[in-house]
Protein backbone atom coordinates (compact mmCIF):
# COMPACT_ATOMS: atom_id res chain seq x y z
CA UNK A 1 0.00 0.00 0.00
CA UNK A 2 1.19 3.49 -0.82
CA UNK A 3 1.85 5.92 2.03
CA UNK A 4 -1.07 8.23 2.73
CA UNK A 5 -0.63 11.94 2.11
CA UNK A 6 -3.02 14.51 3.59
CA UNK A 7 -3.23 18.27 3.19
CA UNK A 8 -5.79 21.04 3.07
CA UNK A 9 -6.38 24.65 2.14
CA UNK A 10 -8.68 27.02 3.99
CA UNK A 11 -11.52 28.63 2.04
CA UNK A 12 -10.94 32.26 2.97
CA UNK A 13 -10.89 34.07 -0.37
CA UNK A 14 -8.80 33.98 -3.49
CA UNK A 15 -5.46 32.23 -3.53
CA UNK A 16 -2.40 34.22 -4.47
CA UNK A 17 0.81 33.20 -6.22
CA UNK A 18 2.41 32.35 -2.89
CA UNK A 19 -0.37 29.83 -2.13
CA UNK A 20 -0.23 28.59 -5.69
CA UNK A 21 3.49 27.87 -5.67
CA UNK A 22 3.67 26.90 -2.01
CA UNK A 23 0.70 24.55 -1.92
CA UNK A 24 -1.49 23.99 -4.97
CA UNK A 25 1.18 23.36 -7.60
CA UNK A 26 3.00 21.16 -5.13
CA UNK A 27 -0.16 19.12 -4.42
CA UNK A 28 -0.60 18.40 -8.12
CA UNK A 29 3.02 17.27 -8.49
CA UNK A 30 2.72 15.01 -5.44
CA UNK A 31 -0.49 13.51 -6.79
CA UNK A 32 1.02 12.93 -10.21
CA UNK A 33 4.16 11.34 -8.79
CA UNK A 34 1.96 8.31 -8.17
CA UNK A 35 3.84 7.64 -4.95
CA UNK A 36 1.06 8.47 -2.50
CA UNK A 37 -2.53 7.80 -1.68
CA UNK A 38 -3.64 11.43 -1.62
CA UNK A 39 -6.33 13.18 0.41
CA UNK A 40 -6.84 16.89 -0.25
CA UNK A 41 -9.57 18.66 1.62
CA UNK A 42 -11.18 22.05 1.99
CA UNK A 43 -10.43 23.15 5.55
CA UNK A 44 -13.70 24.98 6.12
CA UNK A 45 -13.80 24.25 9.87
CA UNK A 46 -10.41 25.90 10.29
CA UNK A 47 -11.55 28.91 8.32
CA UNK A 48 -14.33 29.55 10.86
CA UNK A 49 -11.75 30.71 13.40
CA UNK A 50 -11.50 34.01 11.57
CA UNK A 51 -14.36 36.49 11.27
CA UNK A 52 -16.39 35.71 8.14
CA UNK A 53 -19.65 36.31 6.37
CA UNK A 54 -21.72 33.09 6.24
CA UNK A 55 -23.30 34.27 3.00
CA UNK A 56 -19.87 34.13 1.37
CA UNK A 57 -18.71 30.80 2.74
CA UNK A 58 -20.33 28.47 0.20
CA UNK A 59 -18.76 30.45 -2.62
CA UNK A 60 -15.36 30.27 -0.94
CA UNK A 61 -15.67 26.51 -0.42
CA UNK A 62 -16.59 25.95 -4.07
CA UNK A 63 -13.74 28.28 -5.03
CA UNK A 64 -11.16 26.03 -3.36
CA UNK A 65 -12.73 23.00 -5.04
CA UNK A 66 -12.42 24.80 -8.38
CA UNK A 67 -8.83 25.75 -7.63
CA UNK A 68 -7.99 22.15 -6.81
CA UNK A 69 -9.56 20.81 -9.98
CA UNK A 70 -8.40 23.57 -12.33
CA UNK A 71 -4.84 23.20 -11.06
CA UNK A 72 -4.92 19.51 -11.91
CA UNK A 73 -6.05 17.57 -8.87
CA UNK A 74 -7.94 14.64 -10.28
CA UNK A 75 -10.79 12.96 -8.39
CA UNK A 76 -9.72 9.67 -9.99
CA UNK A 77 -6.31 9.94 -8.37
CA UNK A 78 -7.01 11.87 -5.15
CA UNK A 79 -9.76 11.97 -2.58
CA UNK A 80 -11.02 15.55 -2.66
CA UNK A 81 -13.42 16.40 0.15
CA UNK A 82 -14.88 18.96 2.51
CA UNK A 83 -13.70 18.84 6.12
CA UNK A 84 -17.05 19.79 7.68
CA UNK A 85 -18.81 16.94 5.86
CA UNK A 86 -16.80 14.43 7.88
CA UNK A 87 -17.92 14.40 11.55
CA UNK A 88 -14.92 12.31 12.59
CA UNK A 89 -12.62 15.35 12.28
CA UNK A 90 -14.31 17.13 15.16
CA UNK A 91 -14.89 13.90 17.03
CA UNK A 92 -11.22 12.98 16.98
CA UNK A 93 -10.32 16.57 17.80
CA UNK A 94 -12.29 16.23 21.02
CA UNK A 95 -10.43 13.09 22.01
CA UNK A 96 -7.12 14.78 21.24
CA UNK A 97 -8.16 17.88 23.19
CA UNK A 98 -8.24 15.76 26.29
CA UNK A 99 -4.56 14.84 25.95
CA UNK A 100 -3.28 18.21 24.72
CA UNK A 101 -1.51 20.32 27.34
CA UNK A 102 -2.64 23.97 27.31
CA UNK A 103 1.00 24.99 27.47
CA UNK A 104 1.74 23.33 24.12
CA UNK A 105 -0.98 25.36 22.43
CA UNK A 106 0.06 28.58 24.11
CA UNK A 107 3.49 28.22 22.53
CA UNK A 108 2.16 28.07 18.97
CA UNK A 109 3.48 31.04 17.01
CA UNK A 110 0.48 31.18 14.70
CA UNK A 111 -1.83 31.46 17.70
CA UNK A 112 0.35 34.16 19.27
CA UNK A 113 0.49 36.14 16.03
CA UNK A 114 -3.19 35.80 15.23
CA UNK A 115 -4.39 36.57 18.72
CA UNK A 116 -2.40 39.79 18.55
CA UNK A 117 -3.75 40.68 15.09
CA UNK A 118 -7.34 40.00 15.97
CA UNK A 119 -7.33 40.52 19.72
CA UNK A 120 -11.09 41.17 19.69
CA UNK A 121 -11.72 37.71 18.21
CA UNK A 122 -9.27 35.49 20.04
CA UNK A 123 -11.66 32.58 20.23
CA UNK A 124 -11.11 29.10 21.62
CA UNK A 125 -11.25 27.72 18.07
CA UNK A 126 -8.17 29.70 17.20
CA UNK A 127 -6.49 28.30 20.27
CA UNK A 128 -7.14 24.66 19.50
CA UNK A 129 -6.87 25.02 15.74
CA UNK A 130 -3.69 22.87 15.82
CA UNK A 131 -5.58 20.05 17.55
CA UNK A 132 -8.17 20.00 14.76
CA UNK A 133 -5.29 19.94 12.31
CA UNK A 134 -3.78 16.96 14.14
CA UNK A 135 -7.15 15.19 13.87
CA UNK A 136 -7.29 15.91 10.10
CA UNK A 137 -3.96 14.19 9.70
CA UNK A 138 -4.13 11.29 12.17
CA UNK A 139 -7.61 10.24 11.09
CA UNK A 140 -6.29 9.04 7.73
CA UNK A 141 -3.05 7.53 9.04
CA UNK A 142 -1.12 10.06 7.00
CA UNK A 143 2.59 9.45 6.72
CA UNK A 144 3.31 12.54 4.67
CA UNK A 145 1.94 16.06 5.07
CA UNK A 146 2.97 18.77 2.64
CA UNK A 147 2.87 22.07 4.51
CA UNK A 148 4.48 25.48 4.44
CA UNK A 149 6.97 26.69 7.04
CA UNK A 150 4.24 28.38 9.06
CA UNK A 151 2.58 25.02 9.72
CA UNK A 152 5.64 23.04 10.79
CA UNK A 153 5.06 23.69 14.45
CA UNK A 154 1.52 22.34 14.11
CA UNK A 155 2.87 19.21 12.50
CA UNK A 156 5.33 18.75 15.32
CA UNK A 157 2.40 18.97 17.75
CA UNK A 158 0.57 16.35 15.67
CA UNK A 159 3.51 14.01 16.13
CA UNK A 160 3.60 14.70 19.85
CA UNK A 161 -0.12 13.96 20.17
CA UNK A 162 0.16 10.75 18.15
CA UNK A 163 2.97 9.57 20.41
CA UNK A 164 1.12 10.54 23.54
CA UNK A 165 -2.09 8.84 22.47
CA UNK A 166 -0.18 5.68 21.52
CA UNK A 167 1.60 5.59 24.87
CA UNK A 168 -1.57 6.13 26.84
CA UNK A 169 -4.06 4.02 24.92
CA UNK A 170 -1.98 1.65 22.80
CA UNK A 171 -0.62 1.94 19.26
CA UNK A 172 -3.27 3.70 17.20
CA UNK A 173 -1.68 6.45 15.10
CA UNK A 174 1.25 6.97 12.77
CA UNK A 175 3.62 9.83 13.41
CA UNK A 176 3.46 11.81 10.19
CA UNK A 177 6.49 13.47 8.64
CA UNK A 178 6.40 16.94 7.10
CA UNK A 179 7.03 17.05 3.39
CA UNK A 180 9.11 20.10 2.79
CA UNK A 181 9.74 20.01 -0.91
CA UNK A 182 11.55 23.14 -2.05
CA UNK A 183 8.63 25.40 -1.33
CA UNK A 184 8.91 28.84 -2.84
CA UNK A 185 8.31 31.59 -0.35
CA UNK A 186 7.05 34.70 -2.06
CA UNK A 187 7.31 38.16 -0.58
CA UNK A 188 5.00 41.09 -1.20
CA UNK A 189 5.71 42.95 -4.45
CA UNK A 190 5.41 46.31 -2.73
CA UNK A 191 7.50 45.37 0.31
CA UNK A 192 9.95 42.46 0.10
CA UNK A 193 10.27 42.27 3.89
CA UNK A 194 6.64 41.11 4.20
CA UNK A 195 5.20 37.80 3.08
CA UNK A 196 2.89 37.97 0.05
CA UNK A 197 -0.57 38.18 1.59
CA UNK A 198 -4.08 39.19 0.68
CA UNK A 199 -3.92 41.77 3.45
CA UNK A 200 -1.43 43.66 1.23
CA UNK A 201 -3.39 43.61 -2.05
CA UNK A 202 -1.07 45.95 -3.98
CA UNK A 203 1.83 43.56 -3.62
CA UNK A 204 -0.22 40.42 -4.04
CA UNK A 205 -0.97 38.70 -7.35
CA UNK A 206 -4.07 36.53 -7.10
CA UNK A 207 -4.27 33.49 -9.35
CA UNK A 208 -7.62 34.75 -10.65
CA UNK A 209 -6.30 38.21 -11.51
CA UNK A 210 -6.92 39.37 -15.08
CA UNK A 211 -3.84 39.86 -17.29
CA UNK A 212 -4.00 43.64 -17.11
CA UNK A 213 -4.14 43.52 -13.32
CA UNK A 214 -1.15 41.17 -13.16
CA UNK A 215 0.77 43.43 -15.55
CA UNK A 216 0.03 46.48 -13.44
CA UNK A 217 1.02 44.85 -10.15
CA UNK A 218 4.27 43.48 -11.53
CA UNK A 219 5.23 46.66 -13.39
CA UNK A 220 4.83 48.62 -10.16
CA UNK A 221 6.72 46.13 -7.99
CA UNK A 222 9.53 47.73 -5.99
CA UNK A 223 13.07 46.94 -7.14
CA UNK A 224 16.30 48.58 -6.01
CA UNK A 225 18.72 51.24 -7.18
CA UNK A 226 21.18 48.89 -8.91
CA UNK A 227 21.31 48.86 -12.68
CA UNK A 228 21.27 45.20 -13.52
CA UNK A 229 19.19 42.19 -12.61
CA UNK A 230 21.03 40.23 -9.93
CA UNK A 231 20.29 37.76 -7.15
CA UNK A 232 21.37 38.78 -3.66
CA UNK A 233 18.77 37.78 -1.09
CA UNK A 234 20.27 39.78 1.73
CA UNK A 235 21.13 43.06 0.05
CA UNK A 236 18.63 43.07 -2.82
CA UNK A 237 15.52 41.34 -1.45
CA UNK A 238 13.09 42.91 -3.93
CA UNK A 239 15.00 41.66 -6.97
CA UNK A 240 15.64 38.31 -5.32
CA UNK A 241 11.89 37.95 -4.83
CA UNK A 242 11.07 38.82 -8.44
CA UNK A 243 13.72 36.40 -9.67
CA UNK A 244 12.36 33.68 -7.40
CA UNK A 245 8.89 34.24 -8.83
CA UNK A 246 10.21 34.31 -12.39
CA UNK A 247 12.14 31.11 -11.88
CA UNK A 248 9.23 29.29 -10.23
CA UNK A 249 6.77 30.29 -12.94
CA UNK A 250 9.07 29.66 -15.91
CA UNK A 251 11.03 26.64 -14.71
CA UNK A 252 14.25 28.46 -15.65
CA UNK A 253 17.05 28.65 -13.13
CA UNK A 254 17.84 31.93 -11.43
CA UNK A 255 21.37 31.87 -12.88
CA UNK A 256 19.99 31.48 -16.39
CA UNK A 257 17.62 34.39 -15.85
CA UNK A 258 20.34 36.66 -14.46
CA UNK A 259 22.51 35.82 -17.49
CA UNK A 260 19.63 36.45 -19.90
CA UNK A 261 19.04 39.95 -18.54
CA UNK A 262 22.64 41.07 -18.46
CA UNK A 263 22.81 44.53 -20.00
CA UNK A 264 19.03 44.95 -19.98
CA UNK A 265 16.93 47.26 -17.82
CA UNK A 266 14.42 46.46 -15.09
CA UNK A 267 11.51 47.44 -17.32
CA UNK A 268 12.32 44.69 -19.83
CA UNK A 269 12.71 42.22 -17.03
CA UNK A 270 9.40 43.12 -15.43
CA UNK A 271 7.55 43.10 -18.73
CA UNK A 272 8.76 39.57 -19.47
CA UNK A 273 8.05 38.44 -15.93
CA UNK A 274 4.47 39.72 -16.19
CA UNK A 275 3.95 37.87 -19.48
CA UNK A 276 5.42 34.70 -18.01
CA UNK A 277 3.07 34.83 -15.02
CA UNK A 278 0.09 35.56 -17.28
CA UNK A 279 0.96 32.76 -19.71
CA UNK A 280 1.45 30.17 -17.02
CA UNK A 281 -1.80 31.09 -15.26
CA UNK A 282 -3.91 31.24 -18.43
CA UNK A 283 -4.58 27.48 -18.79
CA UNK A 284 -5.52 27.31 -15.10
CA UNK A 285 -7.84 30.29 -15.41
CA UNK A 286 -9.47 28.88 -18.54
CA UNK A 287 -10.09 25.50 -16.93
CA UNK A 288 -11.48 27.20 -13.84
CA UNK A 289 -13.94 29.25 -15.89
CA UNK A 290 -15.19 26.12 -17.64
CA UNK A 291 -15.49 24.13 -14.41
CA UNK A 292 -17.29 27.00 -12.67
CA UNK A 293 -20.17 26.66 -15.13
CA UNK A 294 -20.78 23.09 -14.02
CA UNK A 295 -21.94 23.53 -10.43
CA UNK A 296 -23.61 20.11 -10.45
CA UNK A 297 -20.45 18.39 -11.63
CA UNK A 298 -18.41 20.01 -8.87
CA UNK A 299 -20.97 18.98 -6.30
CA UNK A 300 -20.89 15.40 -7.55
CA UNK A 301 -17.09 15.29 -7.32
CA UNK A 302 -17.19 16.59 -3.77
CA UNK A 303 -19.87 14.12 -2.78
CA UNK A 304 -17.85 11.23 -4.09
CA UNK A 305 -14.77 12.41 -2.19
CA UNK A 306 -16.80 12.96 0.97
CA UNK A 307 -18.19 9.47 0.76
CA UNK A 308 -14.74 7.92 0.55
CA UNK A 309 -13.35 10.11 3.37
CA UNK A 310 -16.38 9.29 5.48
CA UNK A 311 -15.81 5.56 5.09
CA UNK A 312 -12.11 5.68 5.95
CA UNK A 313 -12.60 8.07 8.86
CA UNK A 314 -15.49 6.18 10.43
CA UNK A 315 -13.47 3.00 10.42
CA UNK A 316 -10.62 4.76 12.17
CA UNK A 317 -12.95 6.31 14.73
CA UNK A 318 -14.26 2.86 15.62
CA UNK A 319 -10.74 1.82 16.53
CA UNK A 320 -10.15 5.07 18.43
CA UNK A 321 -13.36 4.68 20.43
CA UNK A 322 -12.42 1.15 21.40
CA UNK A 323 -9.02 2.30 22.61
CA UNK A 324 -10.63 5.10 24.58
CA UNK A 325 -13.06 2.70 26.23
CA UNK A 326 -16.06 4.38 24.64
CA UNK A 327 -17.05 1.36 22.62
The catalytic residue positions are 114, 195, 198
Backbone angles phi, psi at 193, to 5 degrees: -90, -10
Among 8, 72, 192, 203, binds ligand TRP (CB under 6 A): 8
- DSSP state letters, 185-250: -PEETTEEEEE--TTSGGG--BTT--HHHHHHHHHT----S-SS----TTT-HHHHHHHHHHHHHH
Distance of CA 186 to the CA centre of its chain: 13
Furthest-apart CA atoms within the chain: distance in Å:
73
- DSSP state letters, 15-51: -BHHHIIIIIHHHHHHHHTT-SEEEEEE-HHHHTTS-
| # chain residues binding ligand TRP, by CB under 6 A | 12
Closest CA to 245 of 8, 20, 14, 29: 20
- Minimum CB distance to ligand TRP smaller for 67 or for 136: 136
CB of 199 to ligand TRP, least distance (A): 15
Among 43, 62, 187, 207, binds ligand TRP (CB under 6 A): 43
- Minimum CB distance to ligand TRP smaller for 7 or for 184: 7
Among 4, 6, 69, 240, binds ligand TRP (CB under 6 A): 6
25 binds ligand TRP (CB under 6 A): no
Among 16, 25, 46, 179, binds ligand TRP (CB under 6 A): 46
Among 144, 147, 205, 245, binds ligand TRP (CB under 6 A): 147
Question: CA 264, CA 143: separation in Å to the nearest integer?
Answer: 47
- Residues from 78 through 137 that contact ligand TRP (CB under 6 A): 133, 136-137
Among 4, 5, 7, 244, binds ligand TRP (CB under 6 A): 7
CB of 260 to ligand TRP, least distance (A): 34
Axis-axis angle for helices 211-219, 266-292 (nearest 10): 150
DSSP state of 105: H
Stretch that binds ligand TRP, among 6-14, 32-40, 240-248, 263-271 (CB under 6 A): 6-14
Residues that bind ligand TRP (CB under 6 A): 6-8, 10, 43, 46, 133, 136-137, 145, 147, 151
Amino acid sequence: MKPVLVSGIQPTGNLHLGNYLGALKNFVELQNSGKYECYFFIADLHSMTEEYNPKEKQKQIVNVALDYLAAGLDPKKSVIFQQSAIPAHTELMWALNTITPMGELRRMTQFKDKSEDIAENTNVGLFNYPVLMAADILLYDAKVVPVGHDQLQHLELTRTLARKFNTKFGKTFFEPAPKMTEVTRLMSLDDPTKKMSKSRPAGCVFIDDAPEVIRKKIMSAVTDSEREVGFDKENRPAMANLLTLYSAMSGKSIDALVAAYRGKGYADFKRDLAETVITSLTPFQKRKRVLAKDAKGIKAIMEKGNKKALKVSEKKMEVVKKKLGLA
